[in-house]
Structures are given as structure tokens and as C-alpha cells.
Amino acid sequence: TISNLYVVDSNPIQHQGVSKSFTIEEFDHVLDLIDVAIIASPNQFHVSQTKQCLEQNIHVLVEKPLAQSMAELQPLLEVIQTTSAYLQVGYLLNSHPAITFLEQHLSIDEILSIDYWRTTTRSNHLSTHPVDAFLVHALALFGHLGITIRENDIEHHVEGTLHSFSFTSTQNISIKCNMGWNAKEE
């Protein structure tokens, strides 16, 4: 049973289901109020926020990727060994109806190409690389679907703030991932 719902965002939000809203700078303030955290912040905050929660024995569901490098992950691994809290890494789109559709049709070889789009109306104020911000999620999703990317077959094109990555899978599926900031819609 959820008794209180607290939100940490770049700006305070008002919603009838939210007990209280905190800014990102106030992340520490919410830790004494919660038993479970769902972390879906920009990738560069995943390790530090997860570590802070686990140090307080707060259970965590963190969106992929947990870390941007193995070196960044090391301090978190030490905390994981000493906490009694649970840590789960997940990707929210695995249960999406479109992904379920893809899973069904991949198994009967009906999919010849995939055009994946992930754009946001937000600006890239943290200068995050598109691979770290968006492509890592697409690759995790392809892994979930059992699609293996041919590493030597990746092409990268940039047009304004839109980045396109094209490649072929070992199953001969042509894949194009389009991602970027400052889009007209999400």
C-alpha cells in the first residue's frame, strides 16, 4: 500500500496524487520520508541517487542504465554488499503493447526493419551524448527482444539536434534509431 507519493523533478510539480514535490537539489530531503525509490532521472544521476538510497536501506527500482561505465559502478557495488535493501534495474518499455507486438512477430520472422524514435522537447542542457541519453535504452530493448546488433555495421548521422544510428542485426533486420532533443513533441 502506498501511503505517500513524493516526486523529485527539475521543477516542483502540483498533482492531486503527489504528497509533496522536491527539486533535484533537494533529493536528500526525501530520503527520510520514503521506503521505496523509483529512479528515472538522467543517466548521470543513477549511480549517486541509487547509492544514497541504498545507504539508507531504501529499496530501489532504477531505470536502465544503472551506470555509464564500470568505473562509475564500483562505489555502488561496495554499498550493494552491505545493504539489506533490494535493487532492481529495469526498463519501462518492456511491457509496452508495441514491444509485445514486436516480440510476437519477431518469433515468426515477420519483421524486416525497425524504425525506433526517441525524441524529447527538452533541451540538452547537460550536454549528454545521444548514446548515453537515448541509444542505450534502444539497445537494451533490442537485447530484451533477442536482437543482436552487428557492431561493425553502425552508421551515425547528425542533422541539427537529431542523431540517427543505422545498423543491421544478426537476424538481418534493418534498424534505424532516431533520437534527439528540442523536438516538437515527445
Residue type, 145: L
CB 166 within 8 A of CB 105: no
Q: How far apart are CA 82 and CA 66, in angstroms?
A: 18
pTM (whole model) above 0.75: no
pLDDT, tens only, 57-101: 999 999 878 887 788 888 899 999 999 999 998 876 777 788 888
How confident is the model over 151-170, as a mean pLDDT? 89
